[in-house]
A and B are shown apart, each in its own frame.
Chain A
């Protein structure tokens, strides 16, 4: 379908917040401004990794994903803070609210970046004027800096927003590609990671220009279907549309945790599973989905990692059910060695409205007891509409206080909440 849309004349912005977590902290506490600040997943040094840092810290060579002890060595005066996800989430929601005022086609990619299609937004001015207005409003109203790329497609917009930081606005047209992109290292290209860059280097591809002019068959052999796609991108072509719904295309809900020390005590590991199951259950409830498949991840002391999954007879969303499934899997596949990390992931997600539970002859009484209540709810919904009443779990839309997501990164769940909220408003 997407292939059939004519590629002519779209205007896409990529709005990328500059060192977002650190900027939010500085907006919250202006005394931090101008100081080297880092946000780390865990202040404890063994596991602590820099999630993001201010530009002042970057001057010392501190980088994202650097272990905390290394960063401290480079910059002893570094201020280290734990992430305040609630703050970032609130800021993010306001950012997207502002973006949405200029176009309906806003696609959040993560907490701090998003694409918007402003082809039809000429009432707000030229593309560059719109970009300037958005950047200015984000800075003045939220005290948050961003860089914006303006291009005919997502890929170029993303590359453009990366070119001037902080507070840059870069226009990257297709005709600029040979002059601007091609001299760059292929590793700087969005979509080319370290591994891919290494592979490409083996066949003599070092710059984006090399990739743009590379032999397609050779690329396909090396990288599969992705090879052809990357070549297209290197030539400045990208047909992906800005899709406001893409956030809701979630496929799994998972949580994992690195243990404070390697553990082989089954009882303790089971407690870890209980904790993980609780988080997964909370997130499933917020998404209003059930998981028909539960998988677990076990990483051993020697970093050997296994993932095992099981399809369930009935989809689950309750903590106990998830925990039970995870433990059963664990007992089946654990070799007894000390464990460094455990994770639970729910996949094969089904929307609550369409999920069903096959009742059991030997336990249906438990469910049947709830029948009068369910009956009453149904009557209410029939009379007043679907949203008149919901279970407490499903209502926990905005006010979830518990820390969700993995300990070091933010998950996108709330973005979905945000789009849902918008949708409901429109209805």
Chain B
């Protein structure tokens, strides 16, 4: 294999596929990045066997020559070293050449590295996915949906299925749900598709986080294909495969309250800032709890009391408070996480009692919902 390639494009591609490379893999060859040169261009692949990312660099794009293939072939290079090397190479072009016995020369300007490569034949094949039932969503919307849900997945392996985000597709609507059993995030959106298939799968939270980091904030379309145990996201020059989590996601629909006893409408920014300040005295894990109380004249009080440190009381003027008076305690962190995902100026918080989950939604927007379980005080 021998090729000449634009350094910037190479760096970008290496960075993308690195997202899938883990140093703690049980399969030694997966610590490497596979580089393959064909007559179409160069593809780089990284994988930790849960996530696989393939980034391709065409020979030519918009009239610019990005890569020149002198001899096709493939090699696997240690990701840790290769990624650092390409970042620091001195000139705009890089020559990669595989010589005898997998010895690989990387040359750029007056710099020359000799790396011991690994046999590309040993590298696992990417999942074969038949591209039927494709549905399509713009990159920025996809990123938004991930951001609005993935934060709520569980980080504990006690219920592995909850470490993923539940994706349901029905009637051309995608619903993403994540819960760690203490809070739940739900986001819906219309998708483009020719197929009428319905799906109900669970994508690991980690995969979605990595995907979100790689995708550009553009409205380029992303094609999504779901199979029995894999999901594939296809962007321009990028394939992102993720394993799906096995098992049934719990049915959360019946757990989301439909009625409410107290409804509070409040400015999101004021509310968020008040919670954030109240949490200052409650930052550590154990006391990350604030108390929320409603009063007459549309007044909300958010307070926190940490005996060793002190206490804080924040007053927030609500737009409206309807229904019963309420005192409820909840994790400030969960509330801040949830509020940060919501756009708009006003939100409605709907409570059904101090020991029951409550909902946070933007006014006039059904596409997103955040649910939080309160804490019980003794």
Contacts and interface: CB of A to CB of B under 8 A. Distances in A.
B353 A356 contact: no
Contact of A368 (B287, B355, B377): B355
Nearest to B371: A361
A367 interface: yes
Contacts of B357: 359, 361, 364
A371 B356 CA distance: 9
A89 interface: no
B375 A357 contact: yes
A420 B306 CA distance: 21
Interface stretch (A14-22, A74-82, A258-266, A347-355): A347-355
Contacts of B183: 361
Interface string B178-202: 0101111000000000000000000
Nearest to B158: A313
Contacts of B375: 356-359
B294 interface: no
B114 interface: no
Interface string B348-378: 0000011111000000000000010111111
A203 interface: no
B298 to A, nearest CB: 23
B287 to A, nearest CB: 7
A358 B156 CA distance: 15
Given A354-B307, A357-B376, A362 B181 contact: yes
A292 B252 contact: no
B287 A359 contact: no
A313 B184 CA distance: 17
Contacts, number: 70
Contact of A361 (B179, B305, B306, B353): B179
B56 interface: no
A255 to B, nearest CB: 22
Interface string A308-343: 000001010000000000000000000000000000
A406 B326 CA distance: 45
B376 A360 contact: no
A371 B181 contact: no
A389 to B, nearest CB: 14
Contact of B353 (A290, A313, A355, A371): A371
Contacts of B329: 356
B31 interface: no
Contacts of A426: none
Nearest to A355: B378
A374 interface: yes
Interface string B274-303: 000000000000110100000000000000
A71 to B, nearest CB: 47
A364 B355 CA distance: 7
A370 interface: yes
A359 B307 contact: no
A358 B374 CA distance: 6
Nearest to A369: B355
A375 to B, nearest CB: 8
Interface in B298-322: 305-307
Contact of A371 (B250, B255, B286, B355): B355
Contacts of B354: 371, 374-375
A281 to B, nearest CB: 14
Contacts of B163: none
B52 interface: no
A355 B287 CA distance: 8
Given A356-B329, A358-B331, A359-B182, A364 B377 contact: no
A103 B375 CA distance: 43
Contacts of A356: 289, 329, 375-378
A358 to B, nearest CB: 5
A315 B375 CA distance: 12
Contacts of A348: 286
A353 B255 contact: no
A374 B375 CA distance: 13
Contacts of A360: 181-182, 373
Nearest to A370: B355
Interface string B16-54: 000000000000000000000000000000000000000
22 contacts: A313-B156, A351-B307, A353-B377, A353-B378, A354-B305, A354-B306, A354-B307, A356-B289, A358-B182, A358-B373, A358-B375, A359-B182, A359-B357, A360-B181, A360-B182, A361-B183, A361-B252, A364-B356, A364-B357, A371-B353, A374-B354, A374-B355
Interface of A: 290, 292, 313, 315, 348, 350-362, 364, 367-368, 370-371, 374-375
Given A313-B156, A371-B355, 10 more contacts: A351-B307, A352-B378, A355-B378, A356-B289, A356-B375, A357-B376, A358-B375, A359-B182, A364-B355, A364-B357
Q: 6 closest Cβ contacts across the A-B interface?
A: A356-B375, A359-B373, A368-B355, A371-B355, A357-B376, A352-B378
